[in-house]
Amino acid sequence: MRRKAQGHPVPMRIREPFKLLAVGAIYFWLTAFALLPNLLVVIASVLERGSDEFVAFAFTLDSYRRLLDPLYLGVLLDSLGLAAATTALCLLLGYPFAYLLTRMPVRWRPVLLLLVIIPFWTSSLVRTYAMVILLQTNGWLNQILLGLGLIAEPLELLYTEPAVIAGMLYALLPFMILPLYAALEKLDRRLIEAARDLGAGWITIFRRIILPLTLPGVVAGCMLTFLPGLGMFYVADLLGGAKTMLVGNLIRDQFLSARDWPFGAAASVLLTGLMGLLLWAYYLSSRRAGRGALP
Amino acid sequence: MSPRNAARIAYLILIYGFLYLPILVLIVYSFNDAKYSLEWRGMTWAWYRNLFDDPDLLRAALNSVLIAALSATVATGIGALAAVALYRYEFFGKPLLQSLIFVLMMTPDIVMGIALLILFASLSLPLGFWTLLLAHITFNIPFVVVTVSSRISGFDRHLLEAAQDLGATEFQTVRRIVLPLLMPAVAAGWLLSFTLSMDDVMVSFFVTGPTFEILPLRIYSMVRLGVTPEINALCTIMLGVTLILILIAQLLLREKT
Amino acid sequence: MNEWVIELRNVSKAYAAHAVLRNINLQVRAGEFLTLLGPSGCGKTTILRLLAGFEPADGGEILIGGQDMRTLPPEQRHVNTVFQSYALFPHLTVFENVAFGPRLKRIRGEALRERVMDTLRMVKLEDFAGRKPGQLSGGQQQRVAIARAVVNQPRVLLLDEPLSALDYKLRKAMQLELKQLQRRLGITFIFVTHDQEEALSMSDRVAVMNAGRIEQFGAPRQIYEAPENLFVARFVGEINNLPGRVVAAAPPRYDIRLHDRVVNLKSPYVFGVGDRVNVLIRPEDVRIWRECEGSAEERAALFPAVVEGVVYKGSTVDLVIRLDSGDVLSTTQFFNEDDQAIVNLDFREGERVFVDWVHDWETILPHEE
């Protein structure tokens, strides 16, 4: 006797246990270790600083008010400026680079791409340290400049803002190049040919065809450089000395030395807000470029 | 070669030079037989030997490998299943889940670090091995999902229907068709997770305690004190390990079935 | 047990709010070669997917061998599918692809080998058992897909546009092979295609589908020679449509006015005087007379026209002809070996001709917009 189906026929019941496991595991993990912690950060940011515990359970917007304090606002703006400068440099150097990569002969491309992927996956701490070696007072760069007779005595390269920017540029450039390359590679070459055929010049082609279609890649690249650019406290530590402070340093210090968790949490909420803005820009740009919102 | 092509290639070389020159300098100096000099004084393994004489460092290295292997394994399990589920099933909140994975990947490390710190503090979990493991699994998962998804989206949906059509149950279909086809991507996801975990500073910084030291944090505290040939050697080893794992991962992802 | 191996009763299916199948009723005889023919999006593939069990129907009943299929998952149905994309498992050899089904039925060892190799021999691929699908040509992959589907000896084989990826010559050869295979195996084939020629030449019966409905269901000859509506007439082969009006009715014969002519035609349908009708004529049924042919009285009964286009096609010459009434007809003229004057088909554009058709070979349908 065959079991009679009740209501809507469900021929897929055998799949259920497996589906439950697969969907349940990821749901559980992301809820417990991504959603919940971030919710706690938001909660912590509106609580008062505690004396014994890290937070005291009393509502206050004091932490957010303090972000506007000239002392911290200065740090915030400096940090935003540094991250923006780094992002702009990455884009300026990375876009032509990614474009040229897509124009290289097909048989070279995998190797050339791999040479970008390798620094993408390697430790940025190690690479920042490599930058320290290069920029030391008795480091390579000074030696070369001295040798060429461009300078008379070694420059103080380390512990300056340009050194921090150079370090972040070095650490983050691959994160700009890869999404740009992915976007440019998907670009149909025939569109450019069609535009030329219709009489467009290179500037028009770039402005009207290439840029709008690769905009999601540009936004993704900016997101991947700008956000870490705000947070990478060890780059500021190693290359900026105590002179340069990023939002990352500020947050870290609240949690490790100042022990002001609500304030650190508020700064972190600010970073998350910035991420939200960038994600929204990404969503808009990919919708305009006629692709799905999220990969 | 036309001047235009020459300019293009010069630009590529310049950027590659920028990406690789500091690393090369680091590697070269890890073999230089001079403690404070820039001049090349000949080849030596002395700095590498020193590393192996430092029991704390070895312990930290071992801890790192342990965390990396465990977190990569768990993350690969959850991430690969999630990728299969996202491809195969419709379920409640699927777009939300997809967005969440994407957002998690984009989240700045420092934000994730303090968020997990606050979570562990509110659960009164002592910082150390377990908190570190949970954190590493969390940041590895989205990378596994993306790696496996990009492979899975390349295959013909009808393959799975064909298996069922021929009499395979859901479980048999996954075991005999989906998993073998996904194996390269799953392995690549594992390797990439392993390197991410081995190299992470930012998240680990917040979620580990003094009882459980790992290599990147050890390097960080050493590096803050200045440049030494031992650190050069240590960083070179880190680079070497990462490089090998990435190369294998890329080979796996490129292989056509 | 009744005589139908497959029966669909009032089956409907919608994706979101879009109905893809509306009240489908279909009966398939055991051992029959049935084709679902229609343009893309007409729902023909959806019927296959419902039969295979990949998707549930929203309403109605699906019976295979008299058994209700609604609760049975794909792996428990005695139905196998040949996919349009073949869906061969890329990581398995040809042998393992074909052995996939039998292995799941716990067939092992020599019995398995024998069964797989017999099937491969049937599709002439016994020498390729060790290859991976990626090392085979399109035609060979197609055969593996068929072998893999028939090795389980299903009651019904579902084929989803299996030949569409092949080039013209290979497709012709495979059509013949499929037909022979079906006769040899005695399995019911349900074949989906949008190619009307393929449908007519292979099938025992054809269901012409459009927008989720079956427009006509019958033998290929019926479909071609007696289309039941304008969609079927137009979709299955080329057809000329002359709009007319009934001026006198004596069923089954009617006087129909076509512009300034009245012709007496036969139709199984019942029309009243004044009804608008479409007179449908296949291009090969149109006859053309040149000015020099026939007498003046004979010509008086014909439609005067002008040749607008001449397309030489090798075995035929296709003409586009504009009647003096304004209607445009396409015609196909066969070179007739017996005809003493092959030059007869040497038409020029702009040439004046006279036209009629083989009476009673036309189809008369009620007018549709």
If asked whether residues C116 and C27 sit together in one domain, one would say yes
If asked whether residues C123 and C269 sit together in one domain, one would say no
Q: What are A156-173's pLDDT values in tens digits?
A: 888 888 899 999 999 999
Q: What is the mean pLDDT of chain A?
A: 86
A12/C73 touch (CB, cutoff 8 Å), yes or no: yes
C56/A14 touch (CB, cutoff 8 Å), yes or no: no
Q: What are A105-119's pLDDT values in tens digits?
A: 989 999 999 999 999
- Subunit partners of chain B (3 or more CB pairs within 8 A): A, C
- Subunit partners of chain A (3 or more CB pairs within 8 A): B, C
Residue A153 or B246, more confident = B246
Q: C interface mutation test: which of B165, B172, B183 has the most C CBs within 10 A?
A: B165
- In which domain, by residue range, is C180 found? 4-234
Last residue of a domain, one of C200, C234, C268: C234
Q: Note the pTM of the prediction, 2 decimals.
A: 0.81
Give the full edge-to-edge strand order of the sheet including C363-366: C261-266, C253-258, C240-250, C276-281, C363-366
If asked whether residues C247 and C314 sit together in one domain, one would say yes
> In this predicted structure, what is the pLDDT of residue C211?
92
> In this predicted structure, what is the pLDDT of residue B208?
92
If asked whether residues C193 and C330 sit together in one domain, one would say no
C336: pLDDT strictly greater than 70: no
Last residue of a domain, one of C181, C200, C234: C234
Confidence of residue B3 (pLDDT cuts 50, 70, 90): confident
> In this predicted structure, what is the pLDDT of residue A295?
39
If asked whether residues C164 and C276 sit together in one domain, one would say no
If asked whether residues C116 and C213 sit together in one domain, one would say yes
Q: B interface mutation test: which of C64, C104, C116, C155 has the most B CBs within 10 A?
A: C104
> In this predicted structure, what is the pLDDT of residue A83?
94
Q: What are C271-296's pLDDT values in tens digits?
A: 888 899 999 999 989 888 887 777 77
CA distance to A36, A44, A56, B24, per residue, from A53 (Å):
20, 12, 7, 48
Average pLDDT estimate for B10-32: 92
Average pLDDT estimate for B211-228: 90
> In this predicted structure, what is the pLDDT of residue B136?
97
**CA angle, residues A188, A193, A199, in degrees to nearest 5:** 140
Residues of A in contact with C74 (CB under 8 A): 11
C57/A9 touch (CB, cutoff 8 Å), yes or no: yes
Average pLDDT estimate for A82-97: 96
Residue C88, domain CATH: 3.40.50.300
Q: What are A140-149's pLDDT values in tens digits?
A: 788 888 888 8
Max Cα–Cα distance, chain A, nearest Å: 98
What are the structural domains, with CATH classification, of chain A?
A: 62-288 (1.10.3720.10)
If asked whether residues C203 and C274 sit together in one domain, one would say no
Average pLDDT estimate for A205-231: 91
Confidence of residue B143 (pLDDT cuts 50, 70, 90): very high
> In this predicted structure, what is the pLDDT of residue C250?
86
A227/B8 touch (CB, cutoff 8 Å), yes or no: no
Assess C139–A contact: CB distance below 8 Å, yes or no. no
A40/B119 touch (CB, cutoff 8 Å), yes or no: yes
C335: pLDDT strictly greater than 80: no
Closest to B111 (Cβ–Cβ): which among A112, A126, A271? A271
> In this predicted structure, what is the pLDDT of residue B152?
87
A14: pLDDT strictly greater than 70: no
If asked whether residues C144 and C198 sit together in one domain, one would say yes
Average pLDDT estimate for A86-107: 94
Q: Residue A8: closest CA among chain C residues belongs to which residue? A: C58
> In this predicted structure, what is the pLDDT of residue A5?
34
C173: pLDDT strictly greater than 50: yes
Average pLDDT estimate for A26-43: 95
What are the structural domains, with CATH classification, of chain B?
A: 45-254 (1.10.3720.10)
If asked whether residues C253 and C327 sit together in one domain, one would say yes
Q: What is the mean pLDDT of chain C?
A: 88
If asked whether residues C190 and C52 sit together in one domain, one would say yes
A4: pLDDT strictly greater than 90: no
Closest to B246 (Cβ–Cβ): which among A100, A118, A255? A118
> In this predicted structure, what is the pLDDT of residue A10?
38
* CB contact at 8 A, B243 and A118: yes
Closest to B162 (Cβ–Cβ): which among C79, C87, C105? C87
Residue C302, domain CATH: 2.40.50.140
Closest to A248 (Cβ–Cβ): which among B25, B110, B170? B110
d(CA B191, nearest CA chain C) in Å: 22
In C282-327 the beta strands, taken as DSSP E runs, fall at 286-290, 303-312, 316-323
Residues of B in contact with C107 (CB under 8 A): none
DSSP string, chain B: --HHHHHHHHHHHHHHHHHHHHHHHHHHHTTBS-SS-SS---B--HHHHHHHT-HHHHHHHHHHHHHHHHHHHHHHHHHHHHHHHHHH---TTHHHHHHHHHHHHHS-HHHHHHHHHHHHHHTTPPSSHHHHHHHHHHHHHHHHHHHHHHHHTTS-HHHHHHHHHTT--HHHHIIIIIHHHHHHHHHHHHHHHHHHHHH--HHHHHH--TTS--HHHHHHHHHTT---HHHHHHHHHHHHHHHHHHHHHHHHHH---
Assess C14–A contact: CB distance below 8 Å, yes or no. no
d(CA A184, nearest CA chain B) in Å: 16
Confidence of residue B216 (pLDDT cuts 50, 70, 90): very high
The complex's ipTM works out to 0.90
| Chain center to CA of C191 | 10
Lowest mean pLDDT segment, chosen from A88-92, A95-99, B5-9, B14-18: B5-9
d(CA C79, nearest CA chain A) in Å: 15
DSSP string, A37-102: HHHHHHHHHTEEEPSSSSEEEEE--HHHHHHTSHHHHHHHHHHHHHHHHHHHHHHHHHHHHHHHHH
Last residue of a domain, one of C234, C262, C284: C234
If asked whether residues C213 and C250 sit together in one domain, one would say no
Confidence of residue C340 (pLDDT cuts 50, 70, 90): low
* Angle of the A109-121 helix axis to the A70-103 helix axis, nearest 10: 160
Confidence of residue A58 (pLDDT cuts 50, 70, 90): confident
Residues of A in contact with C67 (CB under 8 A): 2
If asked whether residues C88 and C222 sit together in one domain, one would say yes
B255: pLDDT strictly greater than 80: no
CB pairs under 8 A between B and C: 65
In B128-187, the residues whose Cβ lies within 8 Å of chain C are: 156, 158-159, 161-169, 172, 176-177, 180-181
Assess B243–A contact: CB distance below 8 Å, yes or no. yes
Other beta carbons within 10 angstroms of residue B158's beta carbon come to: 18
Task: Please count the structural domains in chain C.
Answer: 2
Residues of B in contact with A267 (CB under 8 A): none
> In this predicted structure, what is the pLDDT of residue C35?
96
> In this predicted structure, what is the pLDDT of residue B80?
94
C333: pLDDT strictly greater than 50: yes
Assess A11–C contact: CB distance below 8 Å, yes or no. yes
